[in-house]
Structure 1
Amino acid sequence: MIASPSFYRSWRHVFKLDPDRDIDDEALGRICLSGTDAVLVGGSSGVTFDNTVELMSRIRRYEVPCAFELSDPACAVPGFDGYFIPMVLNAARKEWVIGRQADALADYGHLLPWESVAGEAYLVLNPDCTAARLTEAETELTPAQAVAYGRLADRLLRVPVLYMEYSGVFGDMALVRRVRQELRQAQLLYGGGIRTPEQAREAAQAADTVVVGNVVYDDLKAALSTVDAVKFSAKEQDHVF
């Protein structure tokens, strides 16, 4: 019997890096030494085997845990601490719900370290982001529909991770909180538009794990400030008076 994956369970703050975007060694070093819980490697377009290997090898100079979102079988790179198999629940294009995942597993399923592989259900909620355009995601969901997708992932599919993705804009934290309250076993990751400590703290109060991505590439100082903001918020929530 394969053990349930747990490599991501303690994550509160994560930096997400895109293999298709440039980051110099100094900036990468500051990210990896920032105190973040992990670095997640993945992107919606332009991810190849070569640029994934290159980025992973640079991250591996540091001790920070590193995981990979495997959505394309051509990019199956060994050596990560954990792997997520993403599926976009609200995609109109069927291959992004289950087709590409089956292709990846058909080619590389026998090689995957299954104890370190987790299903990752996405809700893509910004119609203008690359992921929404690529998957033709139905992003205009009512709160009831978003909660229904959360229950579907959590209780019917039993996917261990639900990722609410607003890539590029700061999302509806009330909705994030509402979906999280309905989850029984899935860990809720939030990503999108976090550029300030205040936004990071607010997201940490709504989700289990905060993912910070785009700001790394255009305002590194702001990105680094989100680490302590999330960790402080976590301590506040865990404190027993």
Structure 2
Amino acid sequence: MKEIIKAWKHIFKLDPDREMADDTLDAVCMSGSDAIMVGGSSGITYENTVDLLSRVRRYELPCVQEVSDLSAVVPGFDLYMIPMVLNTDDSRWITGLHQAAIEEYGYMIPWELLVPEGYIVLNSDSTVAKLTEAHTDIEESSVTAYAQVADKLMNLPIVYIEYSGTFGDMPTVRAAQQVISNAQLFYGGGICDYDTAVEAAKVSDTIVVGNIVYSDLQAAISTVKAVKLE
């Protein structure tokens, strides 16, 4: 299953804390996207995660959980994505919370299903940036250095550039993609239509589309077509 991720070009990220009608979920899951990622920065509970997973499981596409709260980890996902925020001085978000989780639950962790992600958070107004106190006002050279830390020093399979809620600087994303040799570059943030999807897909390996699903379904679906045509 981990190898399959390398073929993913498009992922819809769904938030368990946000309402989604059945017909909307049906359109999302039947859109041709490569996978569904379940996760968010706040309001995530075991109950709402179980509910969303059970609804997505009616479809055949892979469903992964991005773990942000241990109390909301739900059995039954295909993979579990483990974020490590690199551009913060607070070590809790790099290894601290991870160590605590392993110390308490290590005996029951399905290691073969875990996929660590080296996050570079670049939107200062985002919930995740505020929560982790990420250093978002950094130069391109710093972003590429973080990307290489993840790829070459930590040997992480995914470098995730997150602009969460706003469309990022594509030359910076491209620069990060060009300096990594093994990791897969995920990009998320502000992809809201066909054109932004095309732009993001040109400089990353996988685009992650989230917020637009809740406000403009047709625009969200068009992001799949943009990537598949690329």
Same fold, judged at TM 0.5 (above): yes
Distance 2:52 2:106 in 1: 23
In structure 2, which of residues 56, 64, 67 is the aligned counterpart of residue 67 of structure 1?
64
Displacement of 1:7 in angstroms is: 3.9
Distance 2:161 2:27 in 1: 26
- 2:91 is aligned to 94
2:74 is the alignment partner of 1:81:
no
Distance 1:181 1:209 in 2: 14
Gaps of 5+ in 1: 234-241
| Worse overlay, 88-97 or 152-161 | 88-97
Cα distance change, pair 175–140 in 1 and its aligned pair in 2 (3 A): same
TM superposition score normalised by structure 1: 0.92
Query: Is 1:164–1:176's contact at 8 Å kept on the other side of the alignment?
Result: yes
- 2:159 is aligned to 162
Distance 1:169 1:32 in 2: 24
In structure 2, which of residues 23, 28, 31 is the aligned counterpart of residue 26 of structure 1?
23
- Tell me the SS of whatever aligns to 2:60: coil
Distance 2:101 2:77 in 1: 16
Letter in 1 for 2:8: W
2:137 is the alignment partner of 1:140:
yes
Letter in 2 for 1:18: D
2:32 is the alignment partner of 1:40:
no
Letter in 2 for 1:227: V
2:33 is the alignment partner of 1:6:
no
- Tell me the SS of whatever aligns to 2:6: coil
Distance 1:71 1:104 in 2: 11
RMSD of Structure 2 on Structure 1 (CA): 1.2
The percentage of counterpart residues that share the same residue type is 52
Letter in 1 for 2:202: Q
Render the CA deviation track for 1:97-152: whole Å, top value 9, x for unaligned: 11112222233333233222111110000000110011111001111100100000
Distance 2:76 2:158 in 1: 21
- Tell me the SS of whatever aligns to 1:188: strand
- 1:51 is aligned to 48
- Tell me the SS of whatever aligns to 1:109: helix
- Tell me the SS of whatever aligns to 2:182: coil
2:107 is the alignment partner of 1:110:
yes
Cα distance change, pair 64–5 in 1 and its aligned pair in 2 (3 A): closer
Query: Is 2:40–2:68's contact at 8 Å kept on the other side of the alignment?
Result: no
- 1:231 is aligned to 228
Render the CA deviation track for 1:67-125: whole Å, top value 9, x for unaligned: 01113221221100111111110123221111112222233333233222111110000
In structure 1, which of residues 177, 200, 207 is the aligned counterpart of residue 204 of structure 2?
207
Distance 2:2 2:57 in 1: 21
Distance 1:215 1:107 in 2: 37
Letter in 1 for 2:74: V
- 1:239 is aligned to none
Render the CA deviation track for 1:164-192: whole Å, top value 9, x for unaligned: 00011111111101100110110000000
| Equivalent residues, number | 230
